[in-house]
Structure 1
């Protein structure tokens, strides 16, 4: 006569089943969490520190080579870029935070030395869109692409004070909130800045294309 299964055996079997189901649920949770983290941090928001060397042909007759370091954050889904230009190794350029909002077509510069914000229409002939810029920076980081070593200059004039920052969108609002903020306009005619004007101008060098750009922001004379 076969022995009957004991209640203890049945409860042990049930415990193993529950434990297995719990492990499966836990593993599925880890998989979904990994997918979410990958999507958020690597697709929605990507951060890269990049350094480039360039010839200072604007001020040095001997083509002195300098290095520019910046941290770039790219938000693909929101279609904007945030660039933190680190303190330069040599003087003549201010550290800055820059936001390029492609949805609103605006650029904002936060000059850290002056603690002031400046806003202007986005120049898409100079600033690469998020996916293109990210691909460029990754290739520069890997060493598979060397950027151009020249520098170009763009000149801007401070026009009016901006009181309503909310009209500029949430990204620029976060950058400029609590700071004096002004609108800029570009100088259409390229000319050399005279010595008197130079004292009223700030310089921000940044890298968001295959070359370095020096943005010169001058007060009205």
Structure 2
């Protein structure tokens, strides 16, 4: 499947806004973390653009339990790694993100493998999710995995908005995508990782 010219221009527009903030991020975050103590959950207010809107500076459950267990996720290094991995979250959510409640659920369309994000390199797969907002704006999320033959590596591509989170949304089940455990705002994404290791 191919992206339309309009979708490509949407990616370009997001990059124009985000790249300067991303560059600034690499300088601000190391300084901002100095002002966080062990009990801190978020960056100082003056650095809020660079914080993660869902999990703050300490990471999600996977980060806490798998990468930095036993409270090590609250160290300077773990927090720096987390925020470098999840850059400019608050900026992306506030200025470019998609509010789930503002999606016109009648317009959510999915082409391809709806379970693509669970594939983890087992096979070549892709999925395109499109929708319209209540104000008529169009948004999309394109996810793809390309396996390198029989090697242990694959390429993971995710661009547009994180709409894989609303695959299957309809008018009659929209509330299921808006409970307290779900993300209220879906951020922009332009992640290309050419060397992801296949998980067995």
* TM-score when normalising by structure 1: 0.21
Structure having the higher strand fraction is 1
Bigger CA radius of gyration: 1
Of Structure 1 and Structure 2, which has the larger fraction of its residues in helix? Answer: 2
